[in-house]
Amino acid sequence: MKRLFVLFLPLVLALMSCGDKEEIQRLTDANTELAEKIASLEAQLKPYKESYDRFQFLARKLKGIKARIVTNHGDIEVAFFPDKAPLHCFNFITRAESGFYDNIQFHRVISGFMIQAGDPNSKDEDPYNDGIGGPIAMIPHEFNDTNHVPGILSMARTGNVGAGAGSQFFIVHGNAAHLNNQYTAFGKVTKGIEVVNKIAAIETNKKDRRLQDRPVKPAIIKEIQVYR
């Protein structure tokens, strides 16, 4: 029996060696295939990473910037949430710097809910076109986990979510949980909440349904001062 084992040992070793080579080749091929898949995924992820890096850059540059909304009823100071909504913060800040919001009205006021402004149409003499104006270019929504509580600065939008956001914004006057993750909150009032309360208490039109919620006496944003 021992003699037979000795005779067949070289054959067994040869077969084992052959099997090892096949297994090594299989693992090598599998490793090569995996490396190719990883390289492909990295190539696909590259533009997304670059976009993310750009947003992070924007958020860092906007950090610490504040704004003072100067109205005919007093000043409202706000701080921004660039980490949550960098595009909306940039959109608001750059429009403010350019004078886009100068002499615009709070064209829609609902006590216990919100006060809304930002429509360039509110600068003209036609009150009936207020609420439908905006810029040529829109931006994508940045819905986030910020709750819509009193003092939150948020972006208005149309019923078509895919249309994006323009220039109209609102300041929340009451608790509005139904707006959470449906509208982009991008800042908050840090000083002047009493001015928000004052504007929210303004008498609004009750005679003309087309002008419903529009203040009888204009609540005007004289300018928005941006500072750090």
User: How many domains, the chain?
Assistant: 2
Angle made by CA atoms 148, 152, 155, in degrees to the nearest 5: 85
Q: Whole-number mean pLDDT of the chain?
A: 91
Residues 69 and 22 in one domain: no
Residue 7 domain-assigned (yes or no): no
What CATH number does residue 218 fall under?
Answer: 2.40.100.10
Query: What Rg value do the Cα atoms of the chain yield, rounded?
Result: 31
Do 182 and 87 share a structural domain?
A: yes
The whole domain housing 78 covers 65-227
Q: Is the pLDDT of residue 16 over 60?
A: no
Check residue 145 and report its DSSP letter. Answer: S
pLDDT of residue 14: 53
Of the pLDDT bands very low, low, confident and very high (cuts 50, 70, 90), residue 203 is very high
Q: Is there a single domain that holds both residue 56 and residue 77?
A: no
Q: Which pLDDT band holds residue 17 (cuts at 50, 70, 90)? A: low
**pTM summary value:** 0.82
In a domain, 39, yes or no: yes
Same domain, 220 and 118: yes
> Residues 113, 57: one domain?
no
Query: Any bridge partners for residue 105, and if so which?
Result: 220
Domain assignment present for 1: no
Picking from 11-15, 145-149, 152-156, 172-176, which range would have the lowest pLDDT averaged per residue?
11-15
Close Cβ partners of 223 (under 8 Å, ≥ 6 residues apart): 70, 99, 101, 102
